[in-house]
Amino acid sequence: MESFLKSIWQALQIFKSLLQVLHNFRVTKEDGTVITEKRTIKGEFICSNKDDSRKMSHRLRKKLHYRKRCGYIVDLKPDLQMANVAEGVYLGSQDVAHDYDVLMQHKISHIINCATGVNNIFLDTIEYLTFDVLDVPWTNLEQHFEECHKFMRKAIENGGNVLVHCNAGISRSATIVLSYLMRYNKLSLSEALVHVNKTRKVCPNPGFIQQLVKYGKKLPSKSNILENNQEK
């Protein structure tokens, strides 16, 4: 009997936990913070969990990390910048990739999505190239350069525009764009970095920089003329 009552009690506790989860609602505020609203089964508001008020979304955490790492002032508002870094080529974050009005204003017909956990939502009107890669130094991003370049050239030659985005629009997507500029605009890595940073502040991780250095050496142009401090 005692074990039976114990089992009943454990089942009730599990059920209680499930009810709590079902009636806790996570809400993202305009400033990017996330709070948990607690409601009754009837949907009546109980209170806000103040402990969650300082938690940020994944994108905002990444943006904060990169901006601080590169010495930039952090702005947690939605990042809707469309940086036109070359003819028909735009660079941005996941925010702008989900804003249809902004995309149409810039006549975006193709999107390269190299973010993690970001869905493609305009499949009826935009052509996508998607590969999910982590923004860590040991990720082999160079293996995607050729496919990305073909996709970008196809978009431009057909009269369209292409957006390249990751999560924060600072490292992965910037690396893809930099490789494109090195190949088709005949820029060295240093020149490409200066050019892009005039329009949008970027900061590829050290591993991606090394891959760009390696890639530049393969190109039959001045894009393989690199500073010694970049090769170190």
| Active site residues per annotation | 166
How far is residue 124's CA from residue 111's CA, in Å, rounded to a whole number? 13
Tokens 């160079």 belong to residue: 142
How far is residue 120's CA from residue 232's CA, in Å, rounded to a whole number? 38
Task: Return the structure tokens found at 128.
Answer: 């996508």
Measured CA to CA in angstroms, residue 223 lies from 89, 112, 175, 213, 226 at distances of: 19, 23, 14, 9, 7
How far is residue 148's CA from residue 155's CA, in Å, rounded to a whole number? 11
Instruction: Say which amino acid occupies 14.
Output: I
- CA gyration radius, the chain: 23
Q: Which residues contact 190 (CB under 8 A, 6 or more apart)?
A: 226, 227, 230
CB burial class (10 A; 0-12, 13-18, 19+) of residue 231? exposed
